[in-house]
A = this chain, B = another copy of it.
Amino acid sequence: MSETVKTDATQPVPLDASRQLFIRRWGEMGGYWGINRTMAEIHALLFVSNEPVCTDDVMERLLVSRGTASTNLRALVDWGLIERVHLRGDRREYFLCRTNVWEMLETIIQQRRRREVEPIVETIDKCLEMVGPVTKGKTAAEPEDVTKFRCRLEEMQSFLQSFGAIVDMMVTLGPEGLERVSGMMTKMMA
């Protein structure tokens, strides 16, 4: 741990200051996305650390209590963003951030989609059921209110579904595929 303490380096302070800045900003961003700041900061700390980090490192670097460190590290493991590792001759648990940026963001996107987009899609389904079956043709003289309401929900539904499908595909394709799609889209737009 504490690789930053080595004082042999030519520029030990800039490296650390730079990390610090990144950590702070990543934490702020977390706030905007409904993720608690400390959890995001811990994630950032692990992301910029080349060596595994233990609970005490987190406490020391981020000035948080053992409870907070423990809880948030666990949550990050649950999200699949970091993993536990063990170091020879040390009984403590260390944590490592999945280093591949693509995989990392893939994980975040998929988790959020599952937790946040799917529930709303399900709810829209339920809402549609509640206002009764779709009147095929214009037989059942549905009140205009209901028709408009249904219409809006259906639009929302189909939007969310196709948008979600695209994101899924992007994730599946990975970085190289993404490059190709980008190229194609540029051509389409010309």
Contacts and interface: CB of A to CB of B under 8 A. Distances in A.
A169 B148 contact: no
Nearest to A8: B143
Given A29-B116, A169-B189, A173-B185, A162 B146 contact: no
Main secondary structure of the interface of A (DSSP, over half): helix
A137 interface: no
A21 B169 contact: no
A165 B181 CA distance: 11
Contacts of A80: none
A77 interface: no
Contacts of A169: 182, 185-186, 189
B124 A22 contact: yes
Interface stretch (A62-70, A83-91, A152-160): A152-160
Interface of A: 3, 9-11, 14-15, 17-19, 21-22, 25-26, 28-29, 31-34, 47-48, 50, 99, 101-102, 105, 112, 115-116, 119-120, 123-124, 126-128, 130-132, 143-146, 148-149, 152-153, 155-156, 159, 162-163, 165-166, 169-170, 172-173, 175, 177-182, 184-186, 188-189
